[in-house]
Amino acid sequence: MFQRAGHLTRVMAAVWRISLAEAIAYRVSMLMWVLTTTFPLVSLSLWSGLAASGPIGDYARPDFVAYFVAAFLVRQFTASWVVWELSAQIRSGDLNTLLMRPMSPMLYHAIQNLAALPIRCALALPIGVLVLTLTGGLGWPSPGSLLALGLSLTLAWLLNLGVHVTIGCVAFWVTESTALFEVWLGLYLVLSGAAVPTSLYPAGLAEVIRALPFHASLGFPVELAIGRATGAAVTHGLLLQALWVAVFGALATVLWRRGVRAYEGVGA
Amino acid sequence: MFYLRLVRAQLEMSTLTALQYRLGFWTEGLLGLLWSVIGIAPLFVAVEHLGAVEGWGRWELVVLTGCFTVLSGTFTALLQPALRASMTHILKGTLDYVLLRPADGLVLCLTCAFQPWHLVEVVGGLALVIAGLWLGEVEVTAAGLAAGLATGVAGVVALYAFGVLVLCASFQALQLQALTHVMEALMDFGRWPAQVFPPLLRVLFTFVVPLLVMTSYPAEALLGRLSWGTVAQLAAVSATLLVVARLAWVRSVRGYTSASS
């Protein structure tokens, strides 16, 4: 038992080192990805411009700044790109190499995502801090809510991973699943709070949107970070996140197990 | 004439390839249209709270969204697949076979792939423009229409020029397929009226990354708000970009080592 755990730790450390080296080798590519995720900052300038003459809903100008900077950072910390790799690997047959290794390909992908985290932070934190100093401060969350924030970020990352694996595994049957992911992404941009805080949608519609997985993966951690979710809303949001993680985790597991069985390994 | 026939032949070939995947024809085309339209949601949220966004009413924003949809359809149907295929050529070193052909390399690169189903978006976008003008009860004058077409053409030229610059960048740094995604994500800001952007970003999005030339200004022209001076200025911007792009291409090809990497 202990031997096995030790073995697993060593394997994980090895994958971490490889992935870190890969991430450093393709810095430009990585910078491009970080650049894509800076777009909340353009949304920031748009909305804070619109709020110049008065608050919009319950968001005044500084609130928009805090919201979008937090959104930018949350996206950096919870990013996943498994769907691109997984569907390409299934289509080309490259998955074979991963299946031969003495660890689950899922674990491999998860560690790979985690390995890029330090570099993402190194690239993203200065941008976030710069914007905040230029626009004047962010109310830091209290130490008590930091714990909730950490939990929420972890859940958001797991949720993203679950969605990516679920959609990536569809490639076992249809060979091209990135188109399906584009559908997800289209909905995500509008419904997650990346383009506009979800609480600004008309009453009635807002409640529905805020119950969807999109809001759980971005909007909720952001609201938690800027101190807009307090008391019962925190537990409610965390539970909702956990629920969606469970749903997509179960889906991903089932699809992966059945998919590997249906996998022909020859590529198309 | 030769180039017209060449482009036609290339497009026909990729259409035939695309027709093999008939499911994509409907799903990708119609879904693309749906996404372009759904993206209007943040704009409507702003209108709902503010009454109008910097002087743009509800139906005027629909016209703007139509212009955006036409442009993003053009991008995903024609430019993006061609850029991706060309970047793969550069990465693998197979660009040699393109350059060896007895025609202009850039023309060949820009027409080497085509996703016809995304043209559904272009048609849908035009329908949106007409619907927005109709429901907003805007009188479109002949001059406005001409100005709209002129800025629209300038916008497409600017889009292509920018695409070529991106392609040239991929000669320098490999693994830049991600750049077409960056471009796609950037284009999303073309949904917003030019007036919303702070001055610095407006300059950036007009002259460096000419998003606003592509969407916001054609819409304004159709609504009859653009002076001919501005139209001339925009045409000059996209012409300059085109020249810069062409020069960058010539330079990049000269530096191309053809080794696969």
pLDDT in tens, B87-145: 888 877 778 888 888 878 888 888 888 888 788 888 888 998 898 888 888 777 888 88
- Residue A199 CB partners (closer than 8 Å, separation 6+): A57, A58, A206, A210, A223
- Cross-chain CB nearest to B28 (options A28, A32, A179): A179
Of B42, B48, B178, the CB nearest to A29: B178
Longest alpha-carbon distance in chain A: 65
ipTM surpassing 0.90: no
How big is the CA angle at B31 (ends B25 and B32), to the nearest 5 degrees?
Answer: 90
Q: Is B20 part of the contact surface with chain A (CB cutoff 8 Å)?
A: no
- Taking CA atoms, B174 is separated from A82, B109, B258, B260, in Å, by 21, 17, 13, 11
Q: Decide if A181 contacts A83 (C-beta within 8 A).
A: yes
Question: Residue B261: its pLDDT value, please?
Answer: 45
Identify the band that residue B176 occupies on the pLDDT scale cut at 50, 70 and 90.
low
Q: Is the pLDDT of residue A247 over 90?
A: yes
Q: What is the mean pLDDT of residues A149-177?
A: 87
Angle formed at CA B202 by CA B200 and CA B204, multiple of 5 degrees: 70
Q: Do B179 and A32 touch (CB under 8 A)?
A: yes
Q: How far is CA B208 from its chain centroid? A: 15
Burial class of residue A84 in the structure, from the number of CB atoms within 10 Å of its CB (0-12 exposed, 13-18 middle, 19+ buried)? middle
Say yes or no: B91 contacts chain A, CB-CB below 8 A: no
Domain boundaries, chain A: 2-262
In this predicted structure, what is the pLDDT of residue A158? 93
Q: Which residue of A has its CA nearest to B55?
A: A50
- Please write the tens of the pLDDT for every residue from B191-220: 888 888 888 888 888 877 788 888 888 888
CA B162, B164, B170: angle at the middle one, nearest 5?
110
8 Å CB contact of B176 and A42: no
Region B147-159 average pLDDT = 89
For residue B192, which residues of chain A lie inside 8 Å, CB to CB? Answer: 46
Print the SS3 string covering chain B: CHHHHHHHHHHHHHHHHHHCCHHHHHHHHHHHHHHHHHCCHHHHHHHHHHCCECCECHHHHHHHHHHHHHHHHHHHHHHHHHHHHHHHHHHHCCHHHHHCCCCCHHHHHHCCCCCHHHHHHHHHHHHHHHHHHHHCCCCCCHHHHHHHHHHHHHHHHHHHHHHHHHHHHHHHCCCCHHHHHHHHHHHHHHHCCHHHCCHHHHHHHHHHCCHHHHCHHHHHHHCCCCCHHHHHHHHHHHHHHHHHHHHHHHHHHHHCCCCCC
Task: Answer whether B41 sits within 8 Å of A190, measured CB to CB.
Answer: yes
Instruction: Kindly state whether A39 is in contact with chain B, defined as any CB-CB distance less than 8 angstroms.
Output: yes
- Cα angle vertex A233, ends A232, A234, to 5°? 90
User: Within an 8 Å CB–CB cutoff, is residue B186 touching chain A?
Assistant: yes
d(CA A238, CA A153): 10
Residues A198-241 pLDDT 10s: 888 888 888 999 999 999 999 999 988 888 877 888 899 999 99
Residue A244 has pLDDT above 90, yes or no: yes
Percent of chain B with pLDDT over 70: 93
Dist. CA B192–CA B90, nearest whole Å: 35
Q: Which residues of A touch B175 (CB under 8 A)?
A: 26, 28-29
Give the H or E element holding residue A240.
Answer: helix A232-262
**Cα dihedral: B47, B49, B53, B58 (round 10):** 20
Please say whether the beta carbons of B155 and B214 come within 8 A: yes
Query: Any idea where the domains of chain B sit in the sequence?
Result: 2-255
* B177 vs A256 pLDDT, higher one: A256
Nearest chain B residue to A201, by CA: B45
The pLDDT-based confidence of B21 (bands split at 50, 70, 90) is: low
pLDDT value at position A137? 56
Checking if the pLDDT of A61 tops 90, the result is no
Residues of chain A contacting B190 with CB distance shorter than 8 Å: none
Locate the chain A residue with the closest alpha carbon to B42. Answer: A196
Tell if the CB–CB gap between B39 and A190 is shorter than 8 Å: yes
Contacts of A29 in chain B (CB under 8 A): 173, 175-176, 178
Q: DSSP alpha helices (H): ranges in A116-194?
A: 117-135, 143-169, 171-174, 178-191
CB contact under 8 A, B197 and A46: yes
CA A246-A249-A253 angle, to 5 degrees, is 140
